[in-house]
Amino acid sequence: MNLKKGMLASLNVIMIAALITACSGGNNTESTGGNTGNSGNKSNKGNGEKSGEVVTVNAMWMYDWFKEKKWGVDPVTKKLTEETGVQLKFSGPGGNGEEKANVMLVSGDYPEVMWMDRGPIWDKYVSSGALYAIDELAKEYGFNDLVGKYIPQHVVDSLKHPDGHLYGIPNWFNDKGEFALGKSVMVRNDIYEQMGSPEIKTIQDLESYLYKVRDSKPTFNGVKVYPLGLDYNLDFMIETPNLWGSKNKEFRYYDEANKQVKFWMYNDSTKEYLRWLNKMFLEKMIDPENFSNNDEKRNEAYNKGKWATSFSYVWDYWGPNVVLKKADPKVFYKAIPAPAGKEGVTPYFQGYGTVGWNVSVITKNAKNPEAIIRFFNHYMSPEGQIASFYGIEGETYDMKDGVPMLKDGVYDEKMKDWEAYGLKTGIRHLDMNQNQKYNWEGVSESPDRKADRQIAEAAGFDGTALGILSIDPTTPEGIAWANIKSGLLPDITKIIMAKSPEEVDTRLAETLKKYEGMGLKGVEEAWTKQYDERQAAK
């Protein structure tokens, strides 16, 4: 482990030295007027006023997948500039976003606004004094509704730094997991009906159903149909055990008795789930191609109706359902309520987060922080959010009893070509910093999709406090965690493929002992310390 730590440190130094000259944070604010003073200097204009001049703010998304969007080519961004006097000039990192962010922090050459993951990089920018506190800027310039109202207080409380300040605006947020919950038990409708549409309230009920499907030896278009398919990844391995009554989220759960954040594989529910999967594996219920962890094969299984039942995201079947229904209107997948793993427990499935997964930050390189906080104040307001989600009133939506409603045909056009229609109308073209209570999907979606969502949401729980935790990869605990995480799925596969339930228990115990030797207890202590700090800051 010491050798690996040394190698990682050396590589980091080499990358920083090589990249520092290639890095350009773009901290020059272009303006046809307005403040162009030194880094961190603040404009005197505030209280929502704007001059007749447009301030251009350089804004970087710290992701290699980011596709540059030009401001002002769609009607919504044009309108936002008209109403705020601000336009954003987007860019991407041109490579690994975390590496770029680290290099920019060392050099001090970072852009005015950045979108970055919550976690160690964000924490470093905060601790180095590189970021403005959103709450302080809002208060200074008189935008008193931004923090606590436009960004709800429960979101602020979850994201606050231990010093009590808010240093980022989440990329999306909600109250109770709206539009964030999708994990469910999915059944193929035609097979389910052929089996008599049985009531499935428990895992035992589900198991009986799977046996019945197996014994019927179904095929579809000449392809064998397996009773059970899995989205075989760590995400589902962590949260599917929640059917046994636990609340695992992001590799961990909170141990109320000992007031500790624990690794999810210690949870009794995880052992129960691994034992059940082992039984399904030995009974040849599971598609063996699941264990290849191949997204292409999984998507092929969706589109070919290869699984009678699966643990999946509801929306992953919406596209394949269109294809399957063309072959036979009765062939499609639908969600069923979460079955309880054992008697007396409330079955959960997915833990939702209320604070998105990244944040937009305002750096001390901002030439006109007043203009930037003015922009975000407007964008996060009801008027700004409705424009971002719905486009232009009278063109793509109308207000009915104070509620925005998409015009007839708009939803269908958006679904046909998401990007092109967004560019044409501005509807969800930006897709940034969104309050999900304005999301039109809940109103405009087809009845079958609404039904799927409702079933998934019924099995959700608030996992924000666990999901927001992170660990610095440069610390001994971070290095230990990276090493543990890299071998998780292969280790779990070995446990599932054990020859008996007793061997499942033995392999699980051996695996946990191995992780403890790699430093797992230190990882749990780091999680718990951060958890306690965040709870104290609320």
**What is the distance between the alpha carbons of residues 153 and 305, in angstroms, rounded to a whole number?**
44
What's the pLDDT score for residue 139? 98
Instruction: Classify burial at 526, counting beta carbons within 10 Å of its beta carbon; exposed 0-12, middle 13-18, buried 19 or more.
Output: buried
Residue 282 Cα distances to 140, 272, 277, 464, angstroms = 64, 15, 9, 36
Spans in the chain with pLDDT lower than 50: 1-46
In CATH, which of 3.30.9.10, 3.40.190.10, 3.30.70.140, 3.20.20.80 is domain 55-175+356-438? 3.40.190.10
**What whole-number distance in Å separates Cα of residue 70 and Cα of residue 289?**
42
Q: Which of 357, 358, 355, 362 is nearest to 59 (CA)?
A: 362
Domain locations along the chain: 55-175+356-438, 183-352+464-537
Residues 304-355: tens digit of each pLDDT: 999 999 999 999 999 999 999 998 999 999 999 999 999 999 999 999 999 9
Q: How far apart are CA 273 and CA 107, in angstroms?
A: 48
* Contact call for residues 298 and 168 (beta carbons, < 8 A): no
What's the CA gap between 247 and 270, in Å, rounded?
11
State whether residue 536 is helix, strand or coil: helix
Nearest-angstrom CA–CA distance, 74 and 337? 41
Q: Can you point out the beta strands (E) in 150-211?
A: 151-152, 169-170, 172-173, 183-188
CA angle, 346 then 349 then 351, to 5°: 110
State residue 7's pLDDT score.
Answer: 36
Pairwise CA distance, residues 210 & 506, whole Å: 27
> Quick one: three-class SS letters along 395-421?
CCEEEECCEEEECCCHHHHHHHCHHHH
- On the question of a common fold for 55-175+356-438 and 183-352+464-537, the answer reads yes
Which residues in 314-433 belong to E strands, given as ranges?
Answer: 333-336, 351-352, 358-362, 397-400, 403-406
Question: What is the Cα 208 distance to its own chain's centre?
Answer: 34
- Give yes or no for a contact between 110 and 341, defined as CB atoms under 8 angstroms apart: no
Q: Which CATH class is domain 183-352+464-537?
A: alpha beta
Please give the pLDDT value at position 538: 78
Check residue 520 and give its pLDDT: 98
The predicted pLDDT at position 41 comes to 39
